[in-house]
């Protein structure tokens, strides 16, 4: 029986622990300084917004850990000695391991802005960040205006959170259109509109120059590179995240931006592994980035590493890319790869459909030479993961996707369906004559 | 808009306070002819009781039911006690004292309330409706763009078990206690709806008519709130319309109209064993004595429970009943919607649920077995146990206290489906079918779950939806009433209620979709 120590109790570490317990009798210890029990980081926003209480973000009841013999240690690892296989915690105690897994996730980026460490300036990543925001911006009397810097997923979530308490929000986005490094033009433009619809002061193509302090050392305003000074009490720094690995600097483990790992998620040190946001592949897998700071990939790495640690060596081998998000009221799902104009290759072409009135649209990427289906972005329409996974595996072409689009719909019953409209536009755009097939349970459940 | 809402709250509270004060107000003057009517209507043979009525209440004026009712109750108790002692069994009065007080009060109301029924209706129901709508309708604008609007639910006293929630709790519980155990205090309420009752059935209103009417009003007003809150979600809109329709037409209008047509009072959608007294002797006798329609109702009631209910559950899940048709479900989905997050999601609560709800089902079935045995063999006891006593225990403990006082009164504290989840024997029966033989499931969308917990938080039936979704498993649970809110609140489009082939409905997974661990296909083979 080995002692497997996991640093970090996020989705990666906890998925790993659960799967190790399913597969073996090893002793498992999870160390975290953030919270006693696993919670869903993606749900923190809902606690601030009053949709849930913090306890609701915990997917397992507190008895779960003891019952499954997963030891939880609340502590901060300061030192990792890989030769003696020993961890030293902040309180001076030590823990020895047979196998060590680093799953410490990320921390918000700070790019050296003047004033970035003032009071009232914060990121939104951890439980502590949430508690801080509750203190910094409990209502619109204490916080008359917040400025959010960085137009990514956390930025728009933070804007939504603050707006739920009627706090005026200015949203600085470096790009010329929201998240257009990832989203194609049409979609990015639609989200711009939706942000304005929520009375968020969206400033595109605008960077933060400095944060000004009042006499007490609290942020009182920010200055943009356009020369505007915006009075505010809270500044949200949401310009992406970086692996949270400062504590490993002296450890001798090979580090890049994250902890360098191979496909087996092994680091340069023996019996030390890294998973989740903090792991950095030597080379990105397929079109993936070397560091994937996404919920789903963290979970997959946990699933894969559990096999390896239980004498069943498995590579981290993610399948077709998928992801999801919600931009205020608009749900977003993606299956396969749809790249933005900024990053797509020459062979990738897009078919785009947008509803005349509603904030609903889809973009389908295809290969211009082969018409092979590459991926889909969908906004305001839910789609079936399994169907797109099958189509991607089977290398279906875009005509096939159009013909059987009804099979892929995952909207609740009675929803208005737009497949006919979409296929009409496709036929018009491509001068084709695709006939939409009826939804078929048989096809939906047949494994391609 | 905010101002409108504040005005609305004030108007609503005026209406509600008037309504709440009514049980203790009003003047009652018991004329000689009222006493005579009561004596003849109830065929009272106890001269002791009649004498008491004549000396203690006849010709007198009473302020409030509270000054009249105790006299009647004690007179009746005394009379019965004396008759029992003297073995004058024919003189014993079997009408309950409080019901007797209720019928005397109903006939003897005088003064402003009894003489201004229309105005009083407006000052209670009217103001309540106007005030509530003034509060609700501005939400169209105030909620902003359509979408899930649960902002602040856990910050507000009313929806986070704060003092407002406790006040609502006290109000609801008191209301049900009056309704079930002190009906005479509802006399003034019955005056408010007398005109409506007369226009429907031709009779004056009793306290159950008040309840039925109020039920419809509350559901209608709160349905407006549902329409606004879920205006982006057509499933919720259609479902709300459906429960509203079945409540107003099937539970309220049709039975009243049937009474006008000299038919038995019957709610065609109320299926046994929720309708636990369907096979009670008095009901069977009424039906058998009502000619063709009575026989039809008897036939319908049996077919509804034995054929229609399970067949529909096979095709659509138990939601077709519990959240599309049922009256209890209808109230839970309208009045109860703001409280859905209070259902307990712990494993412990699930264990309690299974013992309780199946216990009630067993109780209902055994009781009905005894009832039918007694009916056909014409005995009052089965294995030495009095059928009547068992029925009384069930009616009191389950029918009144569990379904009414706890089921609805506890909305603001334990959530809106306490009865449906822990007590309803019909739900237990439907649950068996749903769990073991049905096409219904909530499909989990591959690997898209982010474990945020919105689905579990807002599941009124206390199902830990996330526990399944985050494993990529479909949700197939006997307790799911298919309200569709888990799917609505999911920020990532992970959940879909659907009826599909039984094969693959239950799909345990080791590794979620999107992770191609070699050979895992074999493990995951469904």
Q: Where are the domains of chain B?
A: 27-110, 440-524
How far CA B344 is from CA of A114, B287, B340, B360, B449, in Å, comes to: 48, 41, 10, 20, 22
Q: A266-301, pLDDT tens digit by residue?
A: 999 999 999 999 999 999 999 999 999 999 999 999
pLDDT at B517: 64
CA quadruple B458, B427, B307, B327: dihedral, nearest 10: -70
Average pLDDT over residues A377-406: 96
Average pLDDT of the residues in A402-408: 97
Average of per-residue pLDDT across A325-336: 97
Q: What is the pLDDT of residue A447?
A: 60
Which numeric CATH code is attached to A322-445?
3.30.390.30
Summarize pLDDT for B46-96 with one digit per residue, the tens. 989 999 999 999 989 999 999 999 999 999 999 999 999 999 888 899 999
Q: Name the least confident of A175-179, B170-174, B239-243, B289-293.
A: B289-293
Tokens 């189509």 belong to residue: A391
Contact flag A445-B448 (C-beta cutoff 8 Å): no
Dihedral sign of CA atoms A29, B469, B228, A188 in order: positive
Per-residue exposure over A72-94, b if at least 16 CB sit within 10 Å of its own CB, e if not: bbebebeebebeebebbbeeeee
Tell me the C-alpha distance between A158 and A131, whole Å. Answer: 14
Inter-chain residue contact A50 with B151, CB threshold 8 Å: yes
| Residue in B450, B500, B511 closest to A295 by CB | B450
Instruction: Report the distance separating Cα A447 and Cα B156, nearest Å.
Output: 48
Average pLDDT over residues A424-448: 90
Residues 4-43 of A with CB under 8 A from B: 11, 22, 40, 42-43
Domain A121-239 - what CATH class? alpha beta
Rounded Cα gap, residues A26 and B205, in angstroms? 71
Residue B451, pLDDT > 50, answer: yes
Strand partners, A212: A221
Q: How many CB pairs under 8 A join A and B?
A: 166
8 Å CB contact of A333 and B448:
yes
For range B159-167, the mean pLDDT: 96
Confidence of residue A23 (pLDDT cuts 50, 70, 90): very high
> What pLDDT was estimated at residue A446?
73
B155: closest chain A residue by CA: A50
Closest CA to A417 of A385, A378, A389, A387: A378
Over residues A199-206, the mean pLDDT reads 97
Taking the alpha carbons of B182, B188, B193, B195 in that order, is the dihedral positive or negative?
positive
Give me Rg for the CA atoms of chain B.
Answer: 26
Q: Confidence class of residue B200 from pLDDT cuts 50, 70 and 90?
A: very high
Q: What is the pLDDT of residues A51-105, one digit of tens each?
A: 999 999 999 999 999 999 999 999 999 999 999 999 999 999 999 999 999 999 9
**Given this model, what pLDDT does residue B526 score?**
42
A445 touches chain B (CB under 8 A): yes
Contacts of A22 in chain B (CB under 8 A): 510
- Kindly report the pTM of this predicted structure: 0.94
- Band the pLDDT of B144: cuts 50, 70, 90: confident
A325 and B492 within 8 Å at the Cβ level: the answer is yes
pLDDT at B382: 87
Average pLDDT, chain B: 93
Alpha carbon of B477: minimum distance to chain A alpha carbons (Å)? 18
Query: With 50 as the cut, is the pLDDT of residue B416 above it?
Result: yes
**Which CATH number does B440-524 carry?**
3.30.70.20
Q: Which residues pair with A149 in a beta bridge?
A: A172, A237
Question: What was the ipTM of the complex prediction?
Answer: 0.95
Residue B502: list chain A partners with CB under 8 A.
none
| CB B260, CB B202: distance < 8 Å | yes
CA distance B418 to B363: 18
* Fold: same for A3-107+242-309 and A121-239: yes
Residues comprising chain B, all counted: 526
Cβ contact A57–B445 (<8 Å): no
| pLDDT value, residue B518 | 57
- Which residue of B147, B235, B450 is in closest CB contact with A42? B450
CB atoms near residue A169 (< 10 Å): 25
pLDDT for B379 equals 84
Q: Which chain B residue has the Cα nearest residue A264?
A: B517
Q: Which residues pair with A350 in a beta bridge?
A: A365
Query: pLDDT, tens digit, for every residue of B329-385?
Result: 999 999 999 999 999 999 999 999 999 999 999 999 999 999 999 999 888 888 888
Domain boundaries, chain A: 3-107+242-309, 121-239, 322-445
Query: Mutating which of A39, A45, A48, A51 best tests the B interface, going by the most B Cβ atoms within 10 A?
Result: A51
| Residue of A413, A443, A444, A446 to mutate for B, most B C-beta atoms under 10 A | A413
Q: What is the mean pLDDT of residues B271-290?
A: 92
* B232–chain A nearest CA distance, Å: 9
Mean pLDDT for B392-405 is 92
Report whether pLDDT(A414) > 60: yes
Higher-confidence residue of B385 and B153: namely B153
Q: In the predicted model, is pLDDT for residue B524 greater than 60?
A: no
**8-state DSSP, B17:** H
Nearest to B332 by CA among B487, B176, B481: B481
Mean pLDDT of A381-393: 96
Q: Output the pLDDT for position B42.
A: 87
Q: Please check the confidence at residue A441 and state whether its pLDDT lies above 80.
A: yes
Per CB-CB distance under 8 Å, the chain B contacts of A415 are 234-235
Over residues A35-50, mean pLDDT: 97
Q: Which CATH architecture has domain A3-107+242-309?
A: 3-Layer(bba) Sandwich (3.50)
For residues B206, B207, B212, B214, the Cα torsion angle rounded to the nearest 10 degrees is: 120
């Amino acid at each position: 029986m080995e002692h497997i120590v996991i640093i970090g109790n996020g989705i990666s570490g906890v998925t790993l622990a659960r799967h190790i317990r399913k597969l073996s009798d090893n002793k498992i210890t999870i160390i975290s300084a953030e919270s006693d029990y696993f919670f869903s980081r993606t749900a923190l926003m809902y606690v601030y917004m009053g949709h849930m209480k913090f306890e609701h973000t915990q997917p397992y009841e507190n008895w779960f850990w003891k019952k499954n013999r997963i030891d939880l240690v609340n502590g901060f690892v300061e030192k990792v000695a890989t030769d003696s296989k020993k961890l030293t915690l902040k309180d001076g105690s030590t823990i020895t391991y047979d196998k060590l897994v680093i799953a410490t996730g990320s921390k918000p980026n700070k790019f050296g802005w003047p004033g970035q460490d003032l009071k009232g300036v914060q990121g939104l990543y951890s439980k502590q960040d949430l508690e801080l925001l509750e203190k910094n911006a409990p209502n619109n009397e204490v916080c008359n205006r917040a400025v959010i810097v960085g137009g990514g997923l956390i930025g728009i979530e933070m804007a939504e959170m603050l707006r739920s308490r009627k706090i005026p929000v200015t949203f600085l986005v470096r790009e010329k259109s929201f998240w257009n490094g990832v989203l194609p033009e049409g979609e990015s433009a639609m989200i711009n509109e939706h942000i304005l619809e929520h009375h968020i002061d969206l400033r595109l193509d605008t960077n933060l120059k400095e944060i000004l302090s009042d006499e007490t050392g609290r942020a009182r305003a920010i200055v943009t590179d356009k020369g505007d000074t915006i009075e505010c009490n809270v500044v949200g720094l949401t310009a992406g995240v970086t692996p949270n690995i400062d504590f490993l600097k002296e450890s001798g483990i090979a580090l890049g931006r994250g902890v360098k790992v191979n496909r087996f998620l092994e680091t340069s040190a023996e019996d030390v592994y890294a998973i989740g946001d903090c792991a950095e592949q030597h080379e990105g897998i397929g079109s993936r980035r070397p560091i994937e700071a996404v919920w789903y990939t963290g979970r997959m790495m946990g699933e894969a590493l559990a096999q390896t640690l239980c004498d069943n060596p498995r590579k981290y081998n993610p399948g077709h890319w998928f992801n999801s998000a919600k931009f205020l009221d608009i749900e977003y799902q993606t299956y396969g790869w749809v790249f933005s104009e900024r990053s797509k290759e020459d062979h990738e072409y897009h078919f785009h459909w947008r509803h005349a009135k509603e904030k609903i649209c889809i973009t389908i990427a295809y290969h211009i030479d082969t018409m092979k289906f590459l991926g889909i972005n969908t906004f305001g329409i839910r789609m079936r993961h399994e169907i797109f996974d099958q189509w991607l595996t089977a290398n279906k072409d875009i005509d096939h996707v159009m013909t059987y689009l009804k099979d892929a719909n995952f909207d609740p019953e009675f929803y208005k369906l737009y497949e006919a409209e979409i296929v009409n536009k496709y036929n018009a755009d491509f001068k084709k004559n695709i006939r939409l097939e009826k939804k078929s349970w048989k096809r939906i459940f047949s494994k391609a | 808009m905010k101002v409108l809402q504040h005005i609305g709250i004030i108007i609503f509270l005026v209406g509600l306070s008037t309504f709440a004060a009514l049980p203790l107000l009003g003047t009652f003057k018991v004329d000689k002819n009222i006493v005579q009517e009561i004596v003849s209507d109830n065929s009272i043979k106890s001269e002791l009781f009649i004498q008491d009525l004549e000396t203690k209440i006849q010709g007198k004026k009473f302020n409030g039911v509270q000054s009249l009712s105790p006299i009647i109750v004690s007179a009746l108790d005394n009379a019965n006690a004396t008759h029992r002692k003297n073995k004058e069994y024919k003189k014993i009065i079997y009408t309950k004292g409080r019901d007797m007080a209720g019928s005397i009060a109903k006939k003897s109301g005088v003064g402003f309330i009894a003489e201004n029924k229309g105005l009083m209706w407006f000052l209670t129901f009217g103001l309540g409706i106007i005030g509530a709508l003034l509060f609700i309708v501005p939400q169209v604008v105030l909620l902003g763009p359509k979408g899930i609007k649960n902002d602040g639910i856990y910050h507000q006293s009313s929806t986070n078990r704060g003092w407002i929630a406790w006040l609502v709790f006290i109000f609801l519980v008191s209301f049900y206690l009056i309704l079930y155990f002190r009906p005479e205090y509802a006399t003034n309420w019955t005056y408010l709806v007398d005109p409506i009752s007369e226009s429907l059935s031709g009779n004056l209103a009793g306290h159950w008519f008040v309840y039925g009417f109020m039920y419809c009003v509350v559901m209608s007003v709160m349905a407006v709130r549902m329409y606004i809150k879920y205006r982006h979600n057509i499933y919720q809109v259609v479902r709300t319309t459906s429960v509203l329709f079945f409540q107003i037409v099937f539970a309220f209008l049709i039975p009243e109209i049937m009474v006008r047509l000299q038919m038995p009072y019957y709610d065609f959608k109320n299926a046994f064993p929720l309708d636990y007294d369907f096979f009670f002797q008095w009901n069977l006798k009424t039906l058998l004595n009502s000619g063709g329609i009575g026989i039809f109702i008897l036939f319908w009631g049996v077919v509804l429970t034995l054929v229609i209910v399970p067949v529909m559950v096979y095709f659509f899940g138990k939601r077709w009943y519990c959240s599309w048709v049922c009256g209890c479900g209808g109230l839970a989905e309208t009045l109860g919607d703001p409280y859905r997050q209070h259902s307990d999601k712990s494993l412990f609560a699930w264990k309690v649920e299974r013992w309780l709800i199946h216990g009630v089902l067993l109780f209902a079935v055994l009781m009905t077995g005894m009832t039918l045995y007694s009916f056909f063999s014409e005995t009052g006891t089965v294995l030495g146990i009095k059928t009547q006593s068992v029925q009384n225990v069930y009616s009191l403990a389950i029918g009144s206290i569990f379904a009414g006082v706890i089921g609805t009164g506890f909305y603001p504290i334990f959530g809106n489906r306490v009865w449906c989840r822990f007590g309803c024997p019909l739900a237990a029966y439907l649950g068996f079918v749903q769990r073991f033989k049905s096409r219904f499931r909530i499909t989990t969308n591959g690997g898209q779950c982010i474990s945020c917990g919105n689905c579990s938080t807002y599941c009124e039936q206390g199902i830990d939806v996330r526990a399944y979704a985050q494993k990529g498993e479909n949700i197939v649970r006997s307790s799911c009433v298919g309200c569709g809110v888990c799917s609505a609140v999911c920020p990532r489009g992970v959940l879909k209620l659907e009826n599909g082939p039984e094969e693959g409905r239950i799909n345990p997974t080791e590794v979620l979709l999107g992770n191609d661990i070699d050979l895992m296909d074999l493990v995951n083979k469904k």
